Amino acid sequence: MANDTNKQTDGDAIDENLKRVYDDMLNQEVPDRFKDLLAQLKAQDAAADDTSGGENE
């Protein structure tokens, strides 16, 4: 019965839905572009380190 707990109902139902919405988004697969981007950034840094002190165009 809903009657016993009606004071709590709104907040609980809303938080539960919020979590479901959020978890739904969390569980989506992360596109490769982000991992590629991170790898690219890393490679850039490595390259910059190698030529550090180098040519300042």
- Residues in binding contact with another protein, number by CB under 8 A: 32
Q: Does 7 bind another protein (CB under 8 A)?
A: yes
Q: Which is nearer to another protein, 6 or 56 (CB)?
A: 6
Size (the chain), residues = 57
Rounded CA-CA distance 2/11 in Å is 14
Rounded CA-CA distance 45/37 in Å is 12
Q: Does 50 bind another protein (CB under 8 A)?
A: no
- Provide the binding-site residues for another protein, judged by CB under 8 A: 2-3, 5-7, 9-11, 13-15, 17-28, 30-31, 33-35, 37-38, 41-42
